[in-house]
Structure 1
Amino acid sequence: MKRINFHLEKRGFATVAAGAALAATLTATMTSGVSYANSGTPQGLPPGAVSADGKFFTPGSNTIVKRNAGEATPGKLSTESLATVNPGPAGTAESYWLKNARRTGQSCGTGLLAQTSGNGKTTLVLTVEKSVAATVTKEIGVDYKAISAGMGWSVTNSYTVKNETRYEVPAGKWGSVQAFPLYDVYRADVYRLFGSDTGKDVYAYKPVGVCFNSWNQ
């Protein structure tokens, strides 16, 4: 599986999960053992793989990264992403807009979507279909409708991630598979409306697939 430009944010910006989750289904199956979903820190990761804010991790040798099976579910642009960005009234906080929005890579999120485990010898099969909210990290107070307009997609929507993996657990071992959201990472420069570059950046994380982390012991 080809991996490209994984983004690990370490600057401790305030992270905001945007948008309410859409209705979704989540299934997990396997040939033996127990299947469940809960929250927790990803296991089997090398030291330093998790970002300083605990929101993302860099995939290691135990991680398989898969973009959505079939065509990705498109998120409709929300009202604010289609709105014209105008200056604020006199006396209000300064308004900003984004320039040079670009996709800079991918990141695996640490929010656990599903998990399955069992004793070997067995084959664990984990199937995930779930709605995940987009996430924004920003260095300056940019309005979300300005971020959506600049990125070209709604940062306040949720997006469906969907894929499946299989993992062979050797005889005499206990194995586990965890599923986490995969994000495309976008970065843009922040400009003052009708003014100069602020020198600040905005990052937007769009859910596009699943990171499967598998191990045995």
Structure 2
Amino acid sequence: MNRGIFRPKRREITKILAASGVAVTLTAAMGTGVSHAEGSSPLGVPTSSISADGKFFAPGLNTVVKRTEAPAENSQLSAETTSPVAPAPTGAEAYYRIKNGHWIAQVCGTDVIQQTSGQGKATLVLSVDQSVAATVTKEVNVDLKYISAGLGWSVTSTYGVKQESRYDVPEGKWGSIQAFPLFDIYEGEAWSGVGGDLPTGKRVWGYKPAGVCFNQWSQ
């Protein structure tokens, strides 16, 4: 896998990953609190929490996570399918089968989908109702439709996220709320062979929009 791809590990809900020298924390718990993070980027996201490819960040102290749908938990998904390997080995018809699709964690995307700001003393309100596209990272050359079948949901679709957050800005302070998409991360294993019974050790990940990460702070 390329260094720039965000790589979640299996069967862990809270974890720290090192990618290109940057430690990234993933958590399945909701972030709470609204204090301004020291050393944050212009988007109010601590740079140390951003993945190496710049596409995701871990919820921090100033992030409130609100889900649109219930968490998937760490449950197995039953759907499986096969995909021709390209190119196939000489004299063999090999296939990738995506097996054991399961939810492993949640993470925030770095694309701002909505924002508001204002001078305190005041209460900021940000209501979000947006459609967000799913995304994928993978270690094998497998078509997205087979990943969809293997994970049990469409990785090429968009999903609606709808939530609201309120933030009280102290008097004399300038407050901000920025909304980012929340993604559930699903992982599947790639198996090969005509019967799909040979483990490759390679994996695919699907990122399904599931809610909103509100970063809110005052300064």
Q: How high is the TM-score relative to the length of structure 2?
A: 0.71
Structure 1 residues 86, 169: CA separation in 2 closer, same or farther (over 3 Å shift)? closer
The letter of the residue matching 1:102 is H
Assess if the C-alpha contact under 8 Å between 1:118 and 1:174 holds in 2: yes
Structure 1 residues 159, 10: CA separation in 2 closer, same or farther (over 3 Å shift)? farther
How many residue pairs get aligned? The number is: 176
Q: Deviations over 1:67-94 (max 9, x none)?
A: 017x89xxxxxxxxx9964646976995
Equivalent residue, structure 1, for 2:13: 5
Assess if the C-alpha contact under 8 Å between 2:83 and 2:142 holds in 1: no
Query: 1 CA distance for matches of 2:183 and 2:15?
Result: 9
- SS of 1:43's partner is coil
The letter of the residue matching 1:150 is G
Assess if the C-alpha contact under 8 Å between 2:110 and 2:180 holds in 1: yes
Higher relative contact order (CA 8 A, sep 6+): 1
- SS of 1:149's partner is helix
Q: Which runs of 5+ in 2 are unaligned?
A: 1-11, 21-40, 72-78
Assess if the C-alpha contact under 8 Å between 1:163 and 1:209 holds in 2: yes
| CA RMSD of superposed structures (Å) | 2.9
Equivalent residue, structure 2, for 1:15: none
Query: 2 CA distance for matches of 1:169 and 1:101?
Result: 43
Equivalent residue, structure 1, for 2:9: none
Query: 2 CA distance for matches of 1:175 and 1:86?
Result: 50
The alpha carbon displacement at 1:95 in A equals: 3.1
Equivalent residue, structure 2, for 1:29: none
Query: 2 CA distance for matches of 1:88 and 1:139?
Result: 13
Equivalent residue, structure 2, for 1:132: 132
Equivalent residue, structure 2, for 1:145: 145
Query: 2 CA distance for matches of 1:8 and 1:131?
Result: 29
Structure 1 residues 205, 84: CA separation in 2 closer, same or farther (over 3 Å shift)? closer
Equivalent residue, structure 1, for 2:54: 54
The letter of the residue matching 1:5 is I
Q: Which runs of 5+ in 1 are unaligned?
A: 13-40, 73-81
The alpha carbon displacement at 1:181 in A equals: 0.3
Of all paired residues, the percent bearing the same amino acid is 53
Query: 2 CA distance for matches of 1:182 and 1:104?
Result: 14
Q: Deviations over 1:39-86 (max 9, x none)?
A: xx66333341000000100111100000017x89xxxxxxxxx99646
Equivalent residue, structure 1, for 2:209: 207
Query: 2 CA distance for matches of 1:183 and 1:10?
Result: 20
The letter of the residue matching 2:180 is F
Is 2:199 the partner of 1:191? no
